[in-house]
Structure 1
Amino acid sequence: MPPRKPLPFDPIAEARRQWTAHGWGETADGMAAITSLMRAQQIVLGRVDEVLRPFELTFARYEVLMLLLFSREGRLPLNRIGVRLQVHPTSVTSAVDRLETRGHVRRIPHPTDRRAILAEITDEGRTTALAATEKLNGTVFADLGLPEGGIDTLVGLLNEMRRTAGDF
């Protein structure tokens, strides 16, 4: 998809102005903040998807691989993956299904709990996770387009928002 031409104005600033003009001035700042956050998420997700596409990964599947890569033994119960990634069990099952189909993980029985299944990263999964990480580090994570100190400020603000919402 060819890059789109930038707009000659900031549509979120215009929405904020309209919000105020229509009598919702007390919430215009919040609307602009949420809309900006959502648009930033779209931009970042687009960049991440572009990098992960050649690896046939989504960000959710990449997160599962990295969680397994960072785990002590390279394997975790499916329910623990869901808790750590803060996603519904169905999402974990779907991600693990896709990763298993690609040969990146395998399901194995839990050694002490017959009711639990573990997802275990394979050598192929390790190789893919590390290659994807190298590409993400070089093309996405290294330059978010923020000024000096902006990343720390952004992470701090988002952490506060998440904490206030009961995320942790």
Structure 2
Amino acid sequence: MPAPLPLDPIAEAHRQWTAHGWGEVADGMAAVTSVMRAQQIMMARVEEVLKPFGLTFARYELLTLLHFTRTGALPMAKASARLQVHPTSVTNAVDRLETAGLVRRTPHPSDRRATLVELTDEGRALAVETTEKLNAEVFARPGVPDDQLETLLRILAGLRRDAGDFDTGGDPTRW
């Protein structure tokens, strides 16, 4: 990890935006840039934990999604929708996980057009092990004080809801 910078580059960009006549959008620029940088920081922490297991976050998410299902299997299209990623991304993740013996493709029992992706016993065990490690090393301490987490979750849920990620059924307080 590199040494901290002597100044906050986003605050400096905000100052520059204002100095160049874009003050009315400087807060928005700083917010977007801050969220993007926070995502980079969090992703680096997650990937540091997953790397020894040979997993990327995308593959971990798929394993965990399958682990959370009743049967340990989902149609690939449904996995894509639930993970909010393009079907090609799920196909790529399944290819890698299948090569590692963590999932297998099986024909859908009632829809000949669909393929199920199914967790193997090894995949289930790895999903549990990596989740325990992430819980201990990342999720228990996400880098935001406990008394601010709910506020952050509400703010980000509002952003995601307004972008069309989900529908709260008219209850804007649900996240």
Ranges in structure 2 where 5+ consecutive residues have no aligned partner = 167-175
Three-state SS of the structure 1 residue aligned to 2:146 is coil
What is the root-mean-square deviation in Å for CA atoms of aligned residues?
A: 0.7
Question: Residue by residue, what CA displacement relative to the aligned partner does 1:113-134 show, whole Å, maximum 9, x if unpaired?
Answer: 1111000000000111111101
Partner of 1:26: 24
Matches of 2:143 and 2:91 in 1, distance apart?
35
Matches of 2:126 and 2:146 in 1, distance apart?
32
Identical residues among aligned pairs (%): 66
Alignment length, in residue pairs? 166
How far residue 22 of structure 1 moved from its aligned partner, in angstroms, is: 0.2
How far residue 150 of structure 1 moved from its aligned partner, in angstroms, is: 1.4
Q: Following TM superposition, where does structure 1 have runs of at least 4 consecutive aligned residues deviating by more than 2 angstroms?
A: none
Matches of 1:79 and 1:104 in 2, distance apart?
19
Matches of 2:9 and 2:47 in 1, distance apart?
24
Question: Residue by residue, what CA displacement relative to the aligned partner does 1:128-151 show, whole Å, maximum 9, x if unpaired?
Answer: 111110110010000012123211
Give the alignment's TM-score, normalised by structure 1.
0.97
Which of 73, 92, 95 is matched with 1:94 structurally? 92
Partner of 1:53: 51
The residue identity in structure 1 corresponding to 2:138 is V
Partner of 1:37: 35
Question: Residue by residue, what CA displacement relative to the aligned partner does 1:54-82 show, whole Å, maximum 9, x if unpaired?
Answer: 11111111010011000010000000000
Give the alignment's TM-score, normalised by structure 2.
0.93
1:1-168 → structure 2 map (5 Å cutoff):
3-168=1-166
Matches of 1:45 and 1:144 in 2, distance apart?
11
Which is worse superposed, 53-62 or 144-153? 144-153
Ranges in structure 1 where 5+ consecutive residues have no aligned partner = none
How far residue 8 of structure 1 moved from its aligned partner, in angstroms, is: 1.1
